Amino acid sequence: MDDCIFCKIIEGDVPCDLVYQDDKLVVFRDIRPKAKTHLLLVPKLHIKSLLEVQGEHGDLLSHMMLVLPKIAIDAGLKTGFRTVINTGPGGGQEVDHLHLHVLGGGLAKF
């Protein structure tokens, strides 16, 4: 997607603080962190949001969930972390490329 900032990051056209990548996803630090540690786990495949997820994406979503705790632990979040997926305008999604926020350190309860 030409106008997608996360696709540009995945392509290497926009710099990021990369934490992890494999053939299916990238993880980098959020440019506007909401916690001491704030990572974005982003599939390389451009899926707009959870509203566009199809059955064919099952393996990818499963991979994201399986990689997530390993990434969080490697980032120092050994006692736990928060995951957030904003979806659509009603969910406060700003970047229209599916991504999972991983937050830890200094979190308020909600």
Please list the active-site residues. Answer: 99
Considering only 10, 25, 27, 28, the residue that binds ligand DGP (CB under 6 A) is 28
Helix segments in 12-98, DSSP class H:
58-74
Cβ 38 to ligand DGP shortest distance, Å: 7
Q: Should residue 31 be labelled a site residue for ligand DGP when binding is judged by CB under 6 A?
A: yes
C-alpha to C-alpha distances, 96 to 7, 73, 80, 81, nearest whole angstrom: 10, 27, 27, 24
Amino acid at 15: P
Residues that bind ligand DGP (CB under 6 A): 5, 14, 16, 28-32, 40, 86, 92-95
